[in-house]
Amino acid sequence: MPRYALKIEYDGAPFAGWQRQKQHPSVQQAVEEALRRLQPDAPGIAAAGRTDAGVHALGQVAHCDLVKEWDPFRLREALNHHLKPLPVAILEAVQVDEGFHARFSATERRYLFRLLCRRAPATHERGNVWQVAYPLALAPMQEAARRLLGRHDFTTFRSTMCQADSPVKTLDALDIEEIAVPYGQEFRFHVRARSFLHNQVRSFVGTLERVGAGAWTPDDVQAALEARDRAACGPVCPPQGLYLAHVTYPQDPFQA
């Protein structure tokens, strides 16, 4: 059966996450139903990351197996037709080797988190950013972020529902940039690692926001990391500012 890799963009607001669920709509369900309009017995699909409810994607990757050999352009167009009017888009479709696996072949995942600081409510970005009504300081957040880089036991920043075998992960990058916006500021957190624990990025951002607000210091973040205790974590921020931005593979299937 020919295997295809799909690069997927979606707004996570209407969904209970990526993974198919019995009683709630999911992105996986939406894509699988579109595939089954093309092939009624199409098997389930696998994705690079199981994003939570309300989390968005700019570059989620999934793979599917189909009986018919499709021209990738026509496959993309057909799927996008059947996905309407849901906020899910297939950006690219390519045929890949049968050994390609969207999850297990991935070597890196990159997340983006958007934090808007301004008193006036968000209008155009509503549902796409986490908003706070007060300014934050960039430099202390950057210093605290540097304390988290490298290989650590991240129990403090791990959800109690996390199913990972080990809390030990290597954080390759946690870069923060400040962007001027009308009547406020936006901070963008760029986070990169091979894999992440459940709620790890949202735990990072919620804790770093406390540093930017002056309630925590970088030393407090260091102490929280070393505590290896979920109770030592700062508040976990809401999901609407989080995006799965990019997935890296040894050979990029989408590069011409």
Catalogue the active-site residues. Answer: 52
d(CA 246, CA 68): 28
50-73 burial code (b ≥16 CB/10 A, e <16)? bbbbbbbbbbbbbbbbbeeebeee
Residue of 215, 207, 199, 153 whose CA lies nearest to 176:
207
Which residues, in sequence order, are bridge partners of residue 92? 7
Greatest Cα-to-Cα distance within the chain, rounded to the nearest angstrom: 58
CB 83 within 8 A of CB 34: yes
- Looking up tokens 């403090």, which residue turns up? 156
187-221 burial code (b ≥16 CB/10 A, e <16)? bbbebbbeebbbbbbbbbbbbbbbbbbeebebebb
d(CA 39, CA 203): 40
Q: Write out the two tokens for 166.
A: 């080990």
CB 202 within 8 A of CB 54: no
Look at residue 159 and give its three-state secondary structure.
Answer: coil
Measured at the CA of 212, the angle between CA 187 and CA 207, to 5 degrees, comes to: 90
